[in-house]
Amino acid sequence: MGLKIYSTLTRKKEEFTPLEPGKVKMYVCGPTVYAKAHVGHGMSALVFDVIRRYLEYRGYQVNHVQNFTDVDDKIILRAAQEKVDPFELGERYIHEFQDHLQRLNVLPATIYPRATREMPQITEMITELVQKGYAYQVDGDVYFRVRRDPEYGKLSGRKPDEMESGARIDVDPRKEDPLDFAVWKSARPGEPFWDSPWGKGRPGWHIECSAMNLHHLGEQIDIHGGGNDLIFPHHENEIAQTESLTGKPFARYWVHHGMLQLSGEKMSKSLGNLVSIEDFLAGHSGDALRFMVLNSGYRNPLTFTDEVIAQAERGLDRLRSGLRPALPGAKGAPHESLKALGEQAEAARTGFVESMDDDFNSAGALGNLFELVRAINQVRDAGATAAELDEAQKLLSELTGVFGLRLEQEAAGEHPASAFIDLCIDLRAELRKQKLWALSDQVRDRLAQLGVILEDSKEGTTWRWS
RNA sequence: GGCGACGUGGCCAAGUGGGAAGGCAAGGGUCUGCAAAACCCUGAUCACGGGUUCAAAUCCCGUCGUCGCCUCCA
């Protein structure tokens, strides 16, 4: 049994076989950098981070390319409004986004190409498209000739003939066909521009991804990803441009994730109902958003509400409970319990891989991890020593690590304050011995206010950070 | 209007022909001076209506509802 990936192109789950054994070429469409990134962008990055981490766990070497669109109408417009340089504006949001990715524990891509740094490749590609008759120049603009591509529409399931009727409001009369799209736009006064055979201008949105793919990954790649809102027209157009030129299938697997839903609506820049990553991280851990992503199918819409966030935080607590140390004074668990734990651990590993192999079914795999957590906690309660828990806990750490979860918690024994906390616990033990409950509860409450949770048991008191 | 996706217990969610995972919340219990944590126990005629089948949450048709794309969007 091997990995299966759902491809939008065939609308089916396909056996995953990379072009080159052991290696994966993955291109993911990144954001246009003209505003603060929102949690939907975070979700997208997390989806592909989990995919990438799992591919690496399965032994693949992943060449992960993620672009930034750093020149486009919106950037220019925004920069003009703010009276700043459009490149500086883009630069600022790129840095900010990369900082967010780090805080979300997203592994850095192999390379982050940008449209503005790939102009020779872009103009070269357009030149070829024009030479071969797939694109044509009108004044300073260049358009892709959609009708020249008999396969146009194969990704999104749209047929050019059926699209014409309803659509397009202001059709540019200079275009041969309303469906044709710009690959090069001439610069208006004051706009940033690059020199080209067609005059001063800038690339159209779709061509940059085609050119960057060609440049960094080659004519054919394994996985091309993005949000499902990019299927049409962006990815459809990328396919048209690239395959017209190379005559070869572009990407083997087209992977699209669902949109994040904020109170029943897609969160998007144009709707203005944004929650920025910054806002989210101010109140929650990166793990919380990651947990939400993991707990649902990546192709389905992701429910984003306060309640779901709270559920994610509690779910993380539960995962952490499996990593807690043996009980103080543990004498060892019965042989049968330990045997059961070993079996459960093996089942968890198998189940995890089987689920993830099935089109990255992280929600199913997460269920396996929770079952492992329960098994560990049962055996701990049965008196298992640290050594007896070790193997199962290592597995839990390993698999949550594949998910990119950090489950961060400061180890109780290593914090500079731990000696003082232990002192408080000792004093409180004395109070409890004398049954001075009010005072002992006060100690516990005050420590709780400082973020230290005390937990009493027969063998003694343990503490952890809240 | 066209194309597509989805509708599983209070909430999130896996499962796509043959025992309805898991998490959160809730209730009961064990433990505890109390609490917390952990552990045990408790709950679903799978939107609705037809059909195919020995057998359907799972396949087909229809209805209703939600959402996405068709225009910049992760």
Nucleotide nearest A437, CA–C1', reads B33
Distance A401 CA to B10 C1' (A): 32
CATH 1.20.120.640 domain position(s) in chain A: 289-402
Could you confirm whether domain A289-402 is CATH 1.10.730.10?
no
Whether the per-residue pLDDT at A54 is higher than 90: the answer is yes
Q: How confident is the model at residue A411 (pLDDT cuts 50, 70, 90)?
A: low
Nearest-angstrom CA–CA distance, A392 and A343: 10
Q: How confident is the model at residue A175 (pLDDT cuts 50, 70, 90)?
A: confident
Distance A126 CA to B7 C1' (A): 45
Least confident of A52-56, A62-66, A408-412: A408-412
Across residues A322-343, what is the average pLDDT? 92
Across residues A323-348, what is the average pLDDT? 93
Query: On chain B, which bases lie within 7 A of the protein's CB atoms?
Result: 1-6, 11-16, 21-25, 31-40, 66-74
What is the pLDDT of chain A when averaged over all its residues?
Answer: 91
Across residues A422-435, what is the average pLDDT? 93
pLDDT in tens, A143-156: 999 999 999 999 98
What pLDDT, on the 0 to 100 scale, is given for residue A274?
A: 80
Q: Which residue is nearest to nucleotide B12 (CA to C1')?
A: A308
Proportion of chain A above pLDDT 90, given as a percent: 77
Distance A367 CA to B28 C1' (A): 25
Stronger pLDDT, A314 or A174, i.e. the higher one: A314
Across residues A48-58, what is the average pLDDT? 97
Across residues A221-237, what is the average pLDDT? 94
Across residues A89-98, what is the average pLDDT? 95
Q: How confident is the model at residue A170 (pLDDT cuts 50, 70, 90)?
A: low
Nucleotide nearest A157, CA–C1', reads B3
Whether the per-residue pLDDT at A440 is higher than 90: the answer is yes
Distance A47 CA to B37 C1' (A): 32
Whether the per-residue pLDDT at A201 is higher than 70: the answer is yes
Architecture of domain A4-283: 3-Layer(aba) Sandwich (3.40)
What pLDDT, on the 0 to 100 scale, is given for residue A162?
A: 73
pLDDT in tens, A270-318: 555 689 999 999 989 999 999 999 999 999 999 999 999 999 999 999 9
What pLDDT, on the 0 to 100 scale, is given for residue A457?
A: 82
What pLDDT, on the 0 to 100 scale, is given for residue A168?
A: 46
Nucleotide nearest A41, CA–C1', reads B74
Distance A91 CA to B16 C1' (A): 46
pLDDT in tens, A96-124: 999 999 999 999 999 999 999 999 999 99
| ipTM score for this prediction | 0.94
Proportion of chain A above pLDDT 70, given as a percent: 94
Q: How confident is the model at residue A269 (pLDDT cuts 50, 70, 90)?
A: low
Nucleotide nearest A319, CA–C1', reads B23
Q: How confident is the model at residue A130 (pLDDT cuts 50, 70, 90)?
A: very high
What pLDDT, on the 0 to 100 scale, is given for residue A340?
A: 94
CATH 3.40.50.620 domain position(s) in chain A: 4-283
What pLDDT, on the 0 to 100 scale, is given for residue A273?
A: 65
Nucleotide nearest A438, CA–C1', reads B34
What pLDDT, on the 0 to 100 scale, is given for residue A270?
A: 55
